[in-house]
Structure 1
Amino acid sequence: MPKRIIYVHGFNSSEKSYKAVRFGEYMADYDVDYCVPRLNHEPLQAIVRLEQLITANTALIGSSLGGFYVTYLSQKYSLPAVVINPAVRPFELLDNYLGDNYNPYQDSHYKLNSRHIAALRRLFLPQLHTPSLLYLLQQTGDEVLPFQQAVKYYSQCKQLIEFGGDHSFIGFEHTFASIVDFLKIT
């Protein structure tokens, strides 16, 4: 039973993302430490920050790029995790973002370069070692990431696939009970 839930936001997002806030409100009725750290655009800094927050009995939730990070950490530390419309191979998708960027949710300017892409490539796990630790929430209407890639990559995991929707995961609130059940939150 987890005592800490870490929610990991996606690329160009923040700790104030809609899903993070809504799930945090839901978690107020449970005896858990719910945290949503603000992550740096630098992948290795983001991973180090998340590793600093991991304690005994931690569970993870990640959306989009956060799902990619959560997958890596789940498999490295044997932690249960929920991934929401996750990026499976983000290093193949970020070429259009190389150069100067602005994250309006963090009000920060940054430069994405090939070193960041290489760091993401190094974090990729070609095969999940313990797929039973992961629960995929995927909507087929995701306009940002190829949903088929996630369904295939997480094929040995528990899955909730919904037709339609979008990258934000429309109706996220209706998945809360299944998330709590999967993570064994009491």
Structure 2
Amino acid sequence: MLTTAAAIPAATGVLYLHGFNSGSGSPKARLVASGCDALDAGPLPCATPQLPHRPNQALALAESQLATLGSQPLLVGSSMGGFLASCLAERHDLRAVVINPAVRPAGLVEGWLGEAFVNEYTGERFTIEGAHRDELAELTPARLDPRRYLVLLGTADETLDPRDAAAAYRGAAMILQPGGDHGFSALGEFLPALFAHGGHRLAPGGMARPRLDDDFHP
């Protein structure tokens, strides 16, 4: 069982997981990585892997990164990355910050079957297949322990209904951004809360916190 927050040591690293068809070089990934370099206690190891589009492969790659981030990494994930972060949090008894997380992604991709995508970060082309849906259904945790999570939700998310996440993570620490979009472009304003969930504090004036108005990816 997860221990109380007071008994949990500060995070030993941060693993940021990007959303569907996004990339390790996305604005949110860069912002989180920059925050890891601007903490009161000094830089914190940070990994922002480029995730494959197949869910099982993406989770396996993310899981392999955990060993490089010490005994208590903090998971951070956006959209589909929030789903994967939750999978890892439940599997490894870790804390996580999830940003507009997908909570029933198998149903989401059901409507995308046969649709072709191009990843703007890698140039990769792929088509959504039944295997994507089936893998997501198999990976979906039976339950979520709300004590693990900080949930950041935009109330005007145009891609996912924030009410679904609010229900799935009921009891978790939760911040609602009125009018916030799916890209959660105001993430910079919430970095102090993000790192506090991992037991860390941003150094005063350590970094600028711009809005991510150019972030069109989950």
Displacement after TM superposition at 1:96 (Å) = 3.4
Displacement after TM superposition at 1:185 (Å) = 2.3
| 2:4 corresponds to 1:5 | no
Give, as a single letter, the amino acid of the residue that structure 2 aligns with 1:26.
G
| 2:83 corresponds to 1:68 | yes
Summarize the alignment of residues 139-150 of structure 1 with structure 2, pairs less than 5 Å apart. Answer: 139-150=154-165
Give, as a single letter, the amino acid of the residue that structure 1 aligns with 2:192.
A
CA distance in 1 between partners of 2:109 and 2:187 (Å): 25
Return the match for 2:123 from 101, 107, 111.
107
Which residue does the alignment assign to 2:66?
54
Tell me, what secondary structure is at the counterpart of 1:93?
A: helix
Give, as a single letter, the amino acid of the residue that structure 1 aligns with 2:108.
L
Displacement after TM superposition at 1:84 (Å) = 0.2
Displacement after TM superposition at 1:139 (Å) = 0.7
1:91-126 CA distances to partner (integer Å, 9 max, x unpaired)? 111133323321122210112210111000011123
Which residue does the alignment assign to 1:35?
47
For normalisation by structure 1, the TM-score amounts to: 0.95
Q: CA RMSD in A?
A: 1.2
Q: Alpha carbons of 1:38 and 1:6: their partners in 2 closer, same or farther (altered >3 Å)?
A: same
Which residue does the alignment assign to 2:136?
120
CA distance in 2 between partners of 1:123 and 1:95 (Å): 15
For normalisation by structure 2, the TM-score amounts to: 0.81
| More displaced 10-residue stretch of structure 1: 26-35 or 1-10 | 26-35
Which residue does the alignment assign to 1:86?
101
Displacement after TM superposition at 1:165 (Å) = 1.4
Give, as a single letter, the amino acid of the residue that structure 1 aligns with 2:193.
S
Which residue does the alignment assign to 1:135?
150
1:57-104 CA distances to partner (integer Å, 9 max, x unpaired)? 211000000000001100110111000001011111113332332112
CA distance in 2 between partners of 1:108 and 1:153 (Å): 32
Return the match for 1:26 from 8, 28, 35.
35
Where does structure 2 lack aligned partners over 5 or more consecutive residues?
Answer: 1-9, 202-218
- State, as a whole percentage, how many aligned pairs show the same letter: 31
- Contact kept, 8 Å, 2:18 with 2:29, in 1: the verdict is yes
1:12-45 CA distances to partner (integer Å, 9 max, x unpaired)? 1000111111121122123311110000001000
CA distance in 2 between partners of 1:68 and 1:126 (Å): 13
Return the match for 2:183 from 150, 160, 168.
168
- Contact kept, 8 Å, 2:109 with 2:132, in 1: the verdict is no
The structure with the largest alpha-carbon Rg is 2
